[in-house]
Structure 1
Amino acid sequence: MRLPASRKVRALFGWLALAPRPVARETLCDLLWDAPSDPRGELRWCLSKIRGLVDAPGRRRLLSEDDRVWLDLSDGFVDAVEVARSAEPGLEGLAPERRRALAQLFAGDFLEGLALSGHPAYAAWLTAQRRRFGGLQLRLLADLVCDAADEDERLRHLERWLQVAPLDRDAHERLLETLARLGRIREGEAQLAAAARLLDAEGLDSSPLRATWQAARAASIDLPQAPPMASEPRALGAPDTNDEPGPDLAAHRASIAVMPFVDGSPEPEARGGLADALAHDVITRLAKLRSLFVIAPGTVFALHERAIPPERAGRMLEVDYVVGGTVRRGDARLLVAVELADTRTGRIVWAETFSHRADDALLVLDAIGDRIVASIASEIEALERDRAILKPPDSLNAWEAHHRGLWHMYRFNKADNERARHFFETALRLDPSFARAHAGLSFTHFQDAFQGWSEREPGIELAYASANDSLMADDRDPAAHWAMGRALWLRGRHEPAIGELEQAVELSPNFALAHYTLAFIHSQDGDPAAAIAASDHSRHLSPFDPLLFGMLGARAMALVRLGRFDEAARWAVKAAARPNAHPHIQAIAAFALALAGSLDEARAQAESIRRALPAYRFADFLAAFQFDAQGAALFRKGARRIGMG
C-alpha cells in the first residue's frame, strides 16, 4: 500500500502495531510531539491517516475507547510481532524450517528510516526495539549456520550474518573454517585479509582470526595443527578442547560488559554527563566484587562510540552477560531503565526501572548504582547456580563446581550442606587459589557448628581455617573477609569479626551478605539500632537473597532487645515463612510471638519446630546464638511462656 508521506504518521503506525495493549492519547502525545500548540489535534490527524490505511467496510481496526487507542490486527500479519511471539519460548526449540521462515522476515533495521530527532521517548523505544530485533536476527542466523544442510547453504547464512554484523568475529571465524573445509584457500586468504583490515581499523584484535585460519587450513590439508595462542579467548560457540583447567582467572569467573547508558532526556547532556557517569560507576563497583570478569570502560565506551548495540558488543567481546540501559531526566525526576542479557542465549534475564527525585543528582546516582550492582550480581549468581546444576558432576570446571556448591549450600539442611562441601572441595582441587570456593567451604563448616550438625568446636576450627585459606588466596575479595568475620564470631571474637565485615563492605559497598552479617552480630550483643539499619540495607541491596530469612530474623532479634515485641513478632513471622528458614529462625518467631502475647501463634511455631526436630529446646537456641545477658533473659522469658524454657 502507498503509505502517507508523513514520517510521524508512519512512526506512530509502527508503534501502535507493536503496542501490546490500548494506549492513552496523552502517552502518544508525549511520545511524538514536543509541546506543539495542539498536540491532540495533530494526533487526531495522524490517526485519521492510519484509519484510512487499515479500516475496511464493515471492519474497523483502529479502535478507541475512554481516551485510549489501539490497533486490532488480529486478522492481519505483522512480521515483528510474529518474530517476537515465536522467540518468546526460545528460538532453540524451533524447527530449522521455522527458523528459516523467521529469518526471511528481516529486511534492514526495525522501522528503517523512521528515526525522529527531538523526540527522546520515541528514540529510546526505537533504540530498544532495534537492539531487541537485531539480537534476534543474529541468533537466528547463528542457528541457521548450525542447521545448514550443506556448506553452500552455510555460506549463504554466514554472508548474511556478516552483512548484519560486519564486526562479529565469531561469524568471520566460522566463514574462514567453512572456506577451509571446502578447499577454497585463495578465497579464505582474501577473506582473512579483508576481515583483518576491518577489525584493525576499528581498533579490534584480529590475531584470533589468523590463528583460526591457520588451524582450519592445516586441518583441511591434513597437516599438523599449530598450538592455539594461549592468550586468545575461544571463539563464541566453539568447542573447548582443553581438558585441563588453565591459570587464567577469567576461567572461573562469569564475564560481563556494561555498555554506556543512552541519555533519553528531552535535552541530552554532552558526553561525560550523568549517563556516562552511571556506567563508569557500575563498572567500577562490579569490578570490586571480584567474582566477575568486567570489561574495562575504555573498551565499552569505544564500542559505544561506533554505535554498536549492547548485545552485539557482548558477542564481539565474548562475554557471558551484557548490561545496557537508558537514563532520562524530566519533571524533577531521574529514571534509569536497565537490562541484563545473557549473550549465550540472547535473552533478557533481568530488567528494572529505577525512579528517583533528581534534587541531588550525585546522591541519586549513588543510590541507583548500589541497587543496579547488587541486583546484577545477585541475578548472575543465581543464573550461574542454575546453569551449574544442569551439568553432570564429572564435567564441572572450578567455577561451575563452586556454583553447584552454592546451590546446595543455600538449601540449609544437613544433606545439602554436605553436598555443598563436596563441590567446594572439587572446585579447590581444580583451582587451589579460588578464594570464593574457600569462603564457601568455610560457610559449610560454619553451618555444621551453628546448626549443631556436627561437633561444635571442630566445626569452628574448620570454618576458621577455610576462611584463612580464602584470605591467603585473595585478601581483596570481600567474600574472604565475610567468611573470616563469621568464623571469628563463632570463636566469640566479636570486635575482630566486625572489623573483617567492615573491611568486606569497604572493598565492596554493595556486598549484601556482609551488611547482613553485621546485622546478625549487632542484633545479639552489639548495637540493635545498627543491626536494624544493616538489615534494612542488606534487604535493599538483595531483596530476593537466599539468606533473606536471616536478614529478617536479625531485625527481629534487634527489636526484641529494644523491647519492641509486636514489631519483632511481625518481622520474625516473615522470616519463618521463608521457604528455606531453619528451626533457629522459627524459634526466633516463636519466642518473639510469645513476648508479644500471641501465645497461640507462638505455640504453632513451636510445634512446627518439633515436627522437624523433636528434641529441640531453648538450650539449643541459646547455644547457637551469642546474646548479651539482657537479650538471653528476654528470649528465655518468651520460651518459658510456651513451655520451651
Structure 2
Amino acid sequence: MEVSVEGGVEVPVDSSETRRSDDAALRVRLLGPLSITRGGAMLALPASRKARGLFGYLTLAPRAAARSQLCELLWDVPNDPRGELRWCLSKIRGLVDAPDRRRVDARADTIRLDLTDCFVDAIEIMRALQDGIETLPPARLRMLAALFAGDFLEGMEIDRSPVFSSWLTAQRRRFRDGHAAVLEQLVKSVPDDEAFDHLGTWLQIAPFERRVHEALLDALARCGRLREAEEHLAASARLFEAEGLDHAPIRDAWRAARAKTDGAAAARPLVVAAASAASSVAEGGSPLAARRASIAVMPFADQTGGAAVPGGPGDGLAYDVITRLAKLRSLFVIAQGTVFALRDRNIAPHDAGRMLGVDYIVSGSLRRQGKRVTVMVELAETQTARIVWAEVFDRTVDDALLVFDDIGNSIVASIAHEVEAIERNRAILRPPNSLDAWEAHHRGLWHMYRFNQVDNVQAQHFFETAVRLDPTFARAHAGLSFTHFQNAFQGWADRRREIDRAIDTAGQSLMADDRDPAAHWAMGRALWLRGRHDQSFVELETAIDLSPNFALGHYTLAFVHAQTGDPDAAINYADHSRQLSPFDPLLFGMLGSRAMALVRLNRFAEAADWGVKATARPNAHAHILAIAAYCLALAGRLDEARTYMAAIRKMVPDYRVDDFLTAMQFAPDDAALFREGEKRIGLG
C-alpha cells in the first residue's frame, strides 16, 4: 500500500505493481529535481513547469483523476483550461509513451498515468514506510536513504496555482518526515562511526525533533566525546529557547546518557517522549508506571476558500476530538492550547508530532460546498511516518452540529480502535520479561480477545503483571476483572468465586481511577453476573456518560438490556456500538445481543439472520453459536439450527440449553423461548 495526497491529506492507495528492479522500463526521480531515465539515458523534460507538475501529480495519484480536478489543480483562471490540459498531456505522452505502450490512459473524463513497469523513487519509499521500516536490514535502509536526493519535485513551484502549491507542500512535508524516519532507523541499526553521518543529516531536516538530539548525545557519550556533547547541548538549548520550546527533556536525556557512561547502573530510567514525561509529572507517578501511548490532534485545515477564521469548524472539530479522546483515559492527549499554538506558528502536523515527541499524530482538512461537508482525516505513527488509518467523511449538512458530532464520534472511535490494535500487536512481539505495565496490559488484551480458556489464563497473567508493576493502572485492573467474568460466564471455573473476583478487581479499577469508563464498565459487567441488574445499569450508563465514544460501554448495555431490560433499547445500543467500532473484537457479542433482543420481541426471522452473522465473526464462542441455533429453530430453519448445534457439541460435547441459560439471565418467559428452540432441534 502507498500513500497519495489529495487536497493536502494523504490516503492509502495500492501501487503494489510498481516495479523495483533495475530492468524497469523507466526510472523516475521525484525526490530532488524531476528526472526520467530510459535505458540509462536521461530524457529531455518539457520546458513547461505545469506539464512537469502534472506528470508528478499523476505519478502519485491514487486513482484516475477527473479532467476538471486537474484543471483546478494547475490553472487559476485560464482562458481554456481543457485546451491547456490537453497540451500538457501531449507533452507527457511524447515523454513516456512508446510505440507499443501508451502510458497516458485517457478514458471518458478521467486521466491515469500507467507506470506499473517503472521504478519511481517516491513510490518505493512510500511502500517501505507503509509496510513498516522497523525491521528492515541496514542495507535496505541505506538504499532508501540514498533515494532522498532533495526536496520532492525540487524547484517545481508554480505561480497562481494554489491547489497545486498546497499539494506540493503537503508532499514535501510527508517525504521529509519519511526521510527522518528512515534516518532514525538507520541510526539505531548501524555502528556509531556511520551513525554520526546519518545523525547530521537528520539534524538538518528536523532541527527541533527531540529524538535526534537525544540520539546524538547518547552516541557522543558512548564514544567518550563529552566535550562535543556539552557543546551540542548548549547549542540546542539556545535553539529551542529561541523558539519557545521546552529543552528540559533533552537536558534530562544527556544526564541519563552521561550517567550510563559513568557506570551509574542505577540511573533512573529515562522517558524520552515529552508527552510521557509530562504525563508522569501531571499524574504524580514514576515515568515508567505512568506511560501511555501519546497523541496530538492538530486543527483541521479549512479548505472551503478564503482566509481561515480562528474558531471555525476545523478548529471546533479538532477541539471536540481532543476532548473526547481525553475522556477515554487510555491515551495521553496533548492539550488544545499547545497544538493550536503550533498551528499558529505554521508548524506542519507531522513536524509538530515529532517536535512534541508523541507516538501518534492526527491531522486532516475540512471543506464545505453548498449543503455538503467533506472531512479528510489521517492517523500516523510519528516515529515511522506510517499512516495507520485514513478516512474521508462526506455528509449532507442539514444540522451542522449533528453532522460534526457524528463525524467526531467516528473519528474518535476509529483512532481508539487503531491505536489499541497497534499497541496490542506491538506488545505481543516483546519478550515477556521485558514488558512494562502498559505493554503487559496490551499483551493481556491480545490474549483476552482470543476468547478461549487457555488464552484467558494467559491474559490473567499479563494483567496481574501490569497491576503489579503499576497498582494505579485502572485499565489493567479492569482487564483482570474481565478475565474473571469470562471464567464465570463460560463456566471455566467456580462461578461464585469468579464473580467475587470480578467484582473485587473492578473495585480496584474504580479506586485507581473512577473517571475511567473502563472501570465502570468492568463493575457493570461484574454486578450483572451477580444479578444486581439495576446497579449494573447505573455503572454502565456512567461509563458512557464519562465517555460517549466508549464502544464497549454501549455494547454491554445492549447485552444486559437484551436479557433483563428493554429489548428495543438493546437494539439501539447494539447498533450504536457497531457504528462506533465496526471491527471490534467483541463484534460477535454486539450482533448476538441484537439477536437475543429480537427473540424477546418475537421477531424470530430477523433474530436468526443476526445470530448467523454473529457466528461469522472471529473467535465466536459456544454461547454465540447457541444464540444462532436457537434463533434458527424458532424461525423454523431446523436443518441449519442442527448444523450449528453439531458445531457446538464439537466445542463443548455436553452443551445443553441449561448451560446457555445459566450464562445468560433471562426472565422465565423469555427463557422458555430458548428452551422451545432447543426442543424444536430435537436435542433437548
Alignment CA distance shift 1:226-1:559 (3 Å): closer
Corresponding residue to 2:186 among 144, 151, 163:
144
- Identify which of 208, 211, 214 aligns with 1:173: 214
- For each residue in 1:401-453, what CA deviation from the matched residue of structure 2 results, as whole angstroms up to 9, or x when unmatched? 11111111111112221221111111111111211111111111111111111
**Partner SS for 1:91:** coil
What CA distance in whole angstroms lies between the structure 2 residues aligned with 1:150 and 1:395?
25
SS in 1 for 2:92: helix
Deviations, residues 241-282 of structure 1 (Å, cap 9, x unaligned): xxxx96348734211111222223344631221111111111
Do residues 103 (structure 1) and 145 (structure 2) align? Answer: yes
Aligned match of 1:157: 198
How do residues 321-360 of structure 1 correspond to structure 2 at under 5 angstroms? 321-360=360-399
Aligned to 2:251: 210
519-528 or 533-542, which moves further after superposition? 519-528
TM-score, normalised to structure 2, is: 0.85
C-alpha distance in 1 between matches for 2:394 and 2:494: 50
> Does 2:168 match 1:126?
yes
**Partner residue of 1:512 out of 530, 537, 551:** 551
Structure 1 contact 523–558 (Cα < 8 Å) conserved: yes
Match of 2:111 in 1: 69
* Equivalent residue letter for 2:335: A
Which of residues 415, 426, 433 is equivalent to 2:465? 426
**Where does 1:56-455 land on structure 2 (aligned, <5 Å)?**
61-73=103-115, 78-114=120-156, 122=164, 125-149=167-191, 151=193, 153-179=194-220, 187-214=228-255, 233=272, 247-248=286-287, 251-267=290-306, 269-455=308-494
Work out whether residues 123 and 264 of structure 1, in 8 Å CA contact, stay in contact via their aligned partners in 2: no
For residues 592-637 of structure 1, give each alpha carbon's deviation from its aligned partner in whole angstroms, at most 9, with x where no partner exists. 1111111111111111111111211111111111112332222222
358-367 vs 43-52, which deviates more?
A: 43-52
Alignment counterpart, residue 598 of structure 1, candidates 637, 643, 651? 637
Greater mean deviation of Cα atoms: 223-232 or 85-94: 223-232
Q: CA deviation at 1:119?
A: 5.9
CA contact (8 A) 2:275 2:332 kept: no
Distance change >3 Å, CA 267–CA 600, structure 1 → 2: farther
The 1-side partners of 2:162 and 2:369 are apart by 11
Q: Is the 8 A contact 2:253 2:272 kept in 1?
A: no
Q: For the structure 1 residues 606 and 79, does the alpha-carbon distance in structure 2 shift closer, same or farther, using more than 3 Å as the test?
A: closer
Inter-CA distance 580–254: structure 2 relative to 1 (3 Å threshold):
same
1:468 corresponds in structure 2 to 507
1:457 aligned partner, one-letter code: R
Percent identity for Structure 1 against Structure 2: 64
Cα 1:250–1:167 shift into 2, 3 Å: farther
Letter in 2 for 1:304: R
Distance in 2 separating the partners of 1:89 and 1:587: 40
In structure 1, the gaps of 5 or more residues are 238-244
**Mean alpha-carbon deviation: is it higher for 226-235 or for 360-369?**
226-235
C-alpha displacement of 1:206:
1.3
Report the CA distance between 1:293 and its aligned residue: 1.0
Q: Is the 8 A contact 1:439 1:483 kept in 2?
A: yes
Report SS of the residue matched to 2:208: coil
Counterpart contact for 2:209–2:357, Cα < 8 Å: no
| CA shift digits 1:513-538 (9 cap, x unpaired) | 11011111111121111110000000
Separation in 2, partners of 1:60, 1:508:
55
Task: Answer whether contact 2:289 2:470 (CA < 8 A) is retained.
Answer: no
* Aligned equivalents of 1:67, 1:585: Cα separation in 2: 50
Q: Secondary structure at the match of 2:147?
A: coil
- State the secondary structure of the residue aligned to 1:356: strand
Among candidates 59, 72, 88, match of residue 17 of structure 1 = 59
Cα displacement (A) at 1:227: 8.5
Query: d(CA) in 2 for partners of 1:59 and 1:644?
Result: 67
Specify the code of the residue in structure 1 equivalent to 2:201.
R
Letter in 2 for 1:195: S
Q: How far apart, CA to CA, are the structure 1 residues paired with 2:490 and 2:64?
A: 54
SS in 2 for 1:476: coil
Q: 1:247 and 1:187 mapped to 2: Cα distance?
A: 31
Amino acid at match of 1:135: D
Secondary structure of the corresponding residue to residue 430 of structure 2? coil
- 1:305 Cα deviation (Å)? 2.7
Q: Distance in 2 between matches of 1:202 and 1:286?
A: 28
1:475-624 mapped onto 2 (5 Å cutoff) = 475-624=514-663
How far apart in 2 are the matches of 1:51 and 1:617?
Answer: 71
Partner of 1:45: 87
Q: 1:600 to 1:280 in 2, by over 3 A?
A: same
From 74, 89, 96, the equivalent of 1:32 is 74
Query: Given residue 441 of structure 2, which amino acid in structure 1 is its aligned partner?
Result: H
CA drift of 1:327 comes to 1.7
CA distance in 1, matches of 2:165, 2:51: 15
How far apart are the structure 1 equivalents of 2:255 and 2:553?
A: 49
Shift of 1:55: 5.2
TM-aligned CA deviation for residue 360 of structure 1: 2.3
Given the superposition, is the C-alpha separation of residues 164 and 440 from structure 1 closer, same or farther in structure 2, using an over 3 Å criterion? Answer: same
> How far apart are residue 56 of structure 1 and its match?
6.9
Distance 1:127 1:119 in 2: 12
Are residues 408 and 79 of structure 1, via their aligned partners in 2, closer, same or farther at CA, if it must alter by over 3 Å?
A: closer
SS in 1 for 2:290: helix
Please provide the CA RMSD for this pair.
Answer: 3.0
The residue that corresponds to 1:240 in the other structure is: none
Conservation of the 8 A alpha-carbon contact between 1:250 and 1:293 = no
- Alpha-carbon deviation of 1:285? 0.5
- For 1:215 and 1:407, the matched residues in 2 are separated by 33
Aligned equivalents of 1:57 and 1:594: distance in 2? 66
In structure 2, the CA distance between the partners of 1:596 and 1:148, relative to structure 1 (3 Å rule), is closer
Kept in 1: contact 2:275–2:334 (CA 8 A)? no
Task: Decide whether aligned partners of structure 1 residues 583 and 297 sit closer, same or farther in structure 2, where only a CA change above 3 A counts.
Answer: same
**Structure 2 vs 1, CA of residues 89 and 343 (structure 1 numbering), >3 Å: closer, same or farther?**
same
Match of 1:241 in 2: none
State the one-letter code of the partner of 1:200: E
Higher relative contact order, chain-length normalized (CA < 8 Å, sep 6+) = 2
Instruction: Give distance in 1, aligned partners of 2:162 and 2:558.
Output: 43
Give the aligned partner of residue 635 of structure 1: 674
Alpha-carbon separation, structure 1, partners of 2:484 and 2:192: 56
Q: Paired residues, what number? A: 635
1:299 Cα deviation from its structure 2 partner: 1.6
Distance 1:293 1:218 in 2: 28
Q: Residues 216 and 431 (structure 1 numbering): CA distance in 2 closer, same or farther, change over 3 Å?
A: closer
Structure 1 residues 443 and 518, CA, compared in 2 at 3 Å: closer, same or farther? same
Q: Does structure 2 retain, via aligned residues, the 8 Å contact 1:260–1:324?
A: yes
What are the Cα deviations for residues 139-179 of structure 1, in whole angstroms up to 9, with x where unaligned? 2222333455553x433322221211111122223334445
Letter in 2 for 1:568: A
